[in-house]
Amino acid sequence: GIMAQSIHGDPLDGSPERTVMTKPIVALVGRPNVGKSTFFNRLIGERRAIVEDMPGTTRDRIYGDTFWNGRDFTVVDTAGLLFGGDDPNLPVAEMSRRTREQANLAIEEADAVIFMVDGREGMTAADNEVADVLRGTSKPVVLAVNKCDSVERNLDAVEFYALNLGEPIPMSAFHSLGTGDVLDRLVEAFPPYQAPDDTERHLHIAIVGRPNVGKSSLLNKLLGQERSVVSAIPGTTRDSIDTEITFHGERVTLIDTAGIRRSGRIEQGIEKYSVMRTLRAIERCDVALLLIDAEEGITAQDTHIAGMVLDAKKGIAILVNKWDVIEKDNETFQEYEDQVRQAFKFIDYAPVLFISALSGQRVSRVIQLAQEIYDQRQKRVPTGELNNFLRQAVLDQPPMAVRKGAHLRLYYAVQPQIEPPVFLFFANDGDLVHWSYGRYLENRLRDRYGFGGTPIVIVFRSRE
């Protein structure tokens, strides 16, 4: 369904009336080597997204979804986020600067923080640095003392009371000890969940992309062109503002992705791009518009962001911005589109639009494109029609089994869900179906019904 988020009151003051409608984001912070990635991997474990195995997306995961006690949340390993991995050989001053920066980012962008320290090594100066920063926030902080590998070692946690961040919880990521206690504390501290109001349902658009691709220019152009700006809605972080407009009579909310309108708040060069902010915007949107810079070309970060959108199963369009700077001949357009399609093969359903936020070229088509994708996400194929479709697809190409000679039959199909569209195919044995047959059915569904710009989900089930 459509995700919406509203936070009442100042999100930074931690007041009790604060509520969230989306998954909270939890930042995992701490100096290098305390066991953050070990814990992170345990947490997201098998729930790792499919994107990881797709060419062109990064294998280096720094965020993932998980749940505990009925609450879903997203964990971000802030070390990977900021440093591109920890380097223990850095000079102390540099290390300390980065450590503080990491903690600051966590406070600003996350809903809650897990601060991890190393019980075996005991308290260090770097721990104190992080604690200094974290003590200044009213966001929930859970102090996890890792490497307490046995009951006796739990005593190692006691000295961390001195950090003045509440009760230190002993745990061992390695041996999965005490991790439940850490998560209990964490989830208890989440703001209460409030279900989104269905009457509020309408298209939410997030403009995403790395810095300098033109996100704010596009947003401003869109708002400049659109004279019926309805209202400004307080967004998630302190000075972010969502904007609601009407477009051809339909309500559309533009999510303020990057704290777009506050430039210069974070020093140039430091604000690489905020994974947490991007995640949050994607989570809240129906359709993400991924901007890439025509002049600079496609980078790993661009495909990484596309992977985040795919993970969240949201709609997507690729907007190649700054098209005005490209010198063109007859072939330029096709060549460029081929390049884009090649790089974004894993979302081959995404429409590609060449725009200039500066000159306004094709900007008028942007909202319309998002609306089309929104419609595609809501399409429902009636069961009778879907089964006619299935019969024909099976006639044209019988189902392929994972084992040669295995008896495989597909009986019928239903579409139980929209946004994104989900299709269940019932077989005598769902596990027998070769993945490439799923791909075949997806292609056939798209040929027949479109679903442009949105992922669709195909599941094979055994008939009871």
Residue located via tokens 């009871």: 464
CA 203 to chain CA mean position, Å: 18
Q: Show Cβ contacts of residue 43 under 8 Å, excluding neighbours closer than 6 positions.
A: 64, 66, 75
80 phi, psi to nearest 5 deg = -65, -30
| Cβ at position 273, least distance to ligand GDP in Å | 9
* CB of 6 or CB of 217, closer to ligand GDP: 217
Note whether 37 binds ligand GDP by CB under 6 A.
Answer: yes
Among 204, 277, 322, 377, contact with ligand GDP (rule: CB under 6 A): 322
CB nearer to ligand GDP: pick between 162 and 325: 325
Residue 113 bridge partners (DSSP): 27, 141
CA 185/CA 197 separation, integer angstroms: 28
Token duo for residue 411: 């009986």
Contacts of 128 (CB under 8 A, 6+ apart): 163
Residue 36: both structure tokens together: 């953050």
Which of 86, 108, 156, 242 binds ligand GDP (CB under 6 A)? It is 86
> In whole angstroms, how close is the CB of 300 to ligand GDP at the nearest point?
17
The tally of CA atoms less than 13 A away on the side-chain side of residue 352 is 21
Nearer to ligand GDP, 266 or 358 (CB): 358
Query: Which helix (H) or strand (E) is 220 found in, with range?
Result: helix 215-225
Near ligand GDP in 358-397, by CB under 6 A: 358
| Short-list 339, 327, 328, CA closest to 297 | 339
CA separation for the pair 315, 8 (Å, rounded): 27
- The DSSP line for 278-314 is HHHHHHH-SEEEEEEETTT---HHHHHHHHHHHHTT-
Map tokens 């190393």 to a residue. 118
> Does the annotation list 258 as a binding residue?
yes
Q: Which residue has the tokens 């008028």?
A: 364
Exactly one of 4, 21, 27, 34 binds ligand GDP (CB under 6 A); that residue is: 34
On the 0-12 / 13-18 / 19+ scale of CB atoms within 10 A, 55 is: exposed
Is residue 90 involved in binding ligand GDP (CB under 6 A)? no
Binding to ligand GDP (CB under 6 A): which residues in 257-276? Answer: 258, 260
> Which residues on neighbouring strands pair with residue 353, listed in sequence order?
319
Rule CB under 6 A: choose which of 102, 236, 237, 321 binds ligand GDP. Answer: 321
Is 169 annotated to bind ligand? no
Contact stretch for ligand GDP (CB under 6 A) within 154-162, 207-215, 327-335, 339-347:
207-215
Residue in 74, 217, 376, 454 binding ligand GDP, rule: CB under 6 A: 217
Report whether 104 belongs to an annotated binding site: no
SS3 content of the chain, % helix, strand, coil (to 5): 40, 20, 40
How far apart (Å, rounded) are the C-alpha atoms in residues 187 and 262?
31
- Candidates 4, 18, 20, 36; binder of ligand GDP (CB under 6 A) is 36
Q: Which is nearer to ligand GDP, 154 or 415 (CB)?
A: 154
Verify binding: residue 224, ligand GDP, rule CB under 6 A: no
121 touches ligand GDP (CB under 6 A): no
Indicate the residue among 214 and 399 with the shorter CB distance to ligand GDP. Answer: 214
Q: Which of 32, 170, 453, 455 binds ligand GDP (CB under 6 A)?
A: 32
Please list every residue from 134 through 163 that binds ligand GDP, using CB under 6 A.
146-147, 149
Interface residues with ligand GDP (CB under 6 A) are 30, 32-38, 79, 86, 146-147, 149, 172-174, 209, 211-217, 258, 260, 321-322, 324-325, 356-358
Task: Tell me the binding residues for GTP.
Answer: 30-37, 77-81, 146-149, 209-216, 256-260, 321-324
